[in-house]
Every structure is written in structure tokens, then in C-alpha cells.
Structure 1
């Protein structure tokens, strides 16, 4: 009985926090009060908590309820709130990995430096990067209401066509790994743009290092949110 009571307390606390967050959702254009975001986000959170608890093991029932409440509550509150939760989770799990997370409106971009992800002139993922990618898999499967665009980039050193092919192969390697670990291929698109979209000066070693990267762009699934 004591464990059940503790679990219920955890669930209730999480739902109250979600309701408070919905009521102050910066994407809704209102602060406090019984606005639509709070109402629909709260109802979604309640339903999600029940589903999360029901589908989790007895040991993880409280945690499952909180995850269910976060995802379902976000669906009711709107995509902006959903991205708030996803961004916070990604920043936590990617801390210390070298991956930079940038946000523009409701769009998230993960920048994976080439020197961390691949060996020089290779499209084979470094084995010490598998753990980081596994954390991304977990996040992408938990937050599955966005598309995943994977774009490979190189610096301008060497033949242009070689760089185009290398950037495509690197992006494809990341996509293949994510897919093999359970991320839906239907959500993913893959592009290689070679040296065509630099973010730094290719005339310096530091700039070229910044330009060698793979970016993952997370965007809302068309029609999923109104």
C-alpha cells in the first residue's frame, strides 16, 4: 500500500506541474487563467498519465505516468509546449557529448561535429559515439511527433564531388544507425550538401572544423498540430 500511495502522489504532483506549465505556455499568447492551453493540455495530461501508468510495469508506473502526461498534455497544449519538453530532455541527455542544440521558433537543430562523429574522410560512425546516438534514439522514439531531417556537411577542401558524396554518405550512416535502433524511417529524410552551406570561414582550420558536421533538423509533422 505504501508503494501505491507514493506512486499516486508522484503522478498527482507531475500533473499539477504540467497544468501549471500549460497555464503559462509562452506559445499560447496568454498568461494564467483558464485559457484553452491549460484546459486542453491539462485534460491531455490526465489522460496521458492514466495511459502511461497502465502501460508501465509496477516498478516504473509513476515514471510512466509522468512521461504519458508530458506527451499527451503537450498534444493538447500545442506543438510549442511539446518542443519545450523535447528540448529540455535533449539538452539534458546531450550534455557533455559535443552536440550543440539550437532552437528557432518551434524548430530544433542538433549539430554533430564531424571530428566527434567520424574519422577523417570516413562515413563510418566512431564507436565511441554510439552511446550518444542511442540517447537520441530514445528521445526520438519518446517524442515522435516531428520529422527528422539529417543533413551532411563538409568543408571546401578537396574535390567538390567527393565532398558531396562524403556528406551524403555520412548523413546516410546516421540515418541507418537510427533506423536500425528503432526510429521510423518514414520520419526521416537524408541529404548531403557538401561545402555549400558553411557556417564558418573555410580559410581557417577552425572554420573548416566547424563546417564538417551532420545536422539533424526536427520539424513538426505536417497536420499533426493545428
Structure 2
């Protein structure tokens, strides 16, 4: 038996770690360790993810007024949202995946289908896709949302920084216009500082021009801590 399976079995067996240490991933049908179990074992995982949110996680949790996901189901809820987003955005160029060791969801909006060159106006043909993302955020309200803008290395640092900030803000504002609570959302631009591919090729530069929507599900325990509870 492979080591990974041994570790998974052990965590699923030790019920003292968490009430529901393992959940079924709706994307694969396989068992995996839940986010709650990981947090109970490490003690700091959730805090690290929340601490990385724009503007600080604690204040945003309180300001957004979210109730939080029941601890034992947070991993399943996140997997379900990923599955639905992948199905609903299939063929649009959008990429959806788990990040931060399975603690958050990243929705990658490629620039080529989101904006025209040097523009901050969302392409009319892409609005239906953003409507789908907004509907998902409304369906799963117990999360905080960061919107990141990125550019390639073409042009000045100042220009790229401003463009990335404006594109992130436009996407965030669009989500708010579709009913997503403004208190849940923060946006920022990173300019050319966080490439995901080489800027030496057209394909690489295209990959670097993007807007990302990061979704961080919040548990009831995290809400309680933010409010000064246990």
C-alpha cells in the first residue's frame, strides 16, 4: 500500500481528530481528508489561509456578516462548488482549481476572452460566464473573495500596475452588480510581478494576462474566532 493511502486511512480512522475527518470528493468519488480535519491536526491552516486575504480576514468576516460553513462539511462544499463551476464554465476558457493545499478555489479568467487589448471593459460575450460565476458565489455565500489582476511584462511597470488594478476592480464591481455582497470582495492588481509562464513567448505572455478570483470558504469556527468566540 502506498504511503499516501496509509496516511489517508489513518486520518480517516482516528475519529478524535475531527467528527468528519474524511469526505467524498464529488469530482472524483474518492475519499480525502477534509479541510476541517487538516485544520484540527495542524491547528493553524485555516488561520494561514484567512491571514493571506486582502485587507485581513478577521475584519472582513465580521463585515460580510457570513454565518460560515458547518466544519465537517466545508471540504465537501468546496469540492461541490468547484465541480459546478467547472461544468458551468466549460468551453469558456475559464480554469477552476483548488489552491493553497485545498483550502481555497481559484477561478482563472484569461485576458483574451475577458478584455480587449489595453481595455478595462468586459467583453459582452464574456458577461454570461461572469454571470455564472456570480451565481455560484451567491449560491455558496459562506466565503470571502479576492480578485487579482495580472499583466505580462510588455509596457512600463506603472502602466501594467494600473491596468491590473483597474481590471480587477472592474471584475469585482461586476460581481457586486450581480448580487454578490460587496463586503465579501476585495480587489488588487499585481502588474507583471506574478507571472505563471515565461514572458519570452506570445503564449507565455497571454497566460500571464489574466484576472483571478480566489474564493476562501469560511467555517463556523472561523466566524466564531473572528467574533471573539472560542
Q: Where does residue 133 of structure 1 map in the other structure?
A: 130
Distance 1:225-1:211 versus aligned 2 partners, 3 A rule? farther
1:78 deviation in Å?
Answer: 3.1
| Partner SS state of residue 37, structure 1 | coil
- 1-side partners of 2:170 and 2:132: how far apart? 16
Q: What is the TM-score normalised by the length of structure 2?
A: 0.66
**Structure 2 alignment gaps of length 5 or more:** 1-7, 22-66, 226-230
Alignment of 1:135-154 (within 5 A): 135-154=132-151
Q: Where does residue 93 of structure 2 map in the other structure?
A: 98
Q: Which of 1 and 2 has greater Rg?
A: 1
1:29 aligns with 2:26: no
Higher RCO, 1 or 2 (CA under 8 Å, sep at least 6)?
A: 2
1:224 deviation in Å?
Answer: 3.6
Regions of 4+ moved over 4 Å: none
1:107 deviation in Å?
Answer: 1.1
1:225 deviation in Å?
Answer: 8.2
1:175 aligns with 2:211: no
1:212 deviation in Å?
Answer: 0.2
After superposition, the C-alpha distances for 1:89-113 in whole angstroms (9 at most, x for unaligned) are 1111111111011212121101110
**Structure 1 alignment gaps of length 5 or more:** 1-25, 39-71
1:76 deviation in Å?
Answer: 5.4
1:194 deviation in Å?
Answer: 0.5
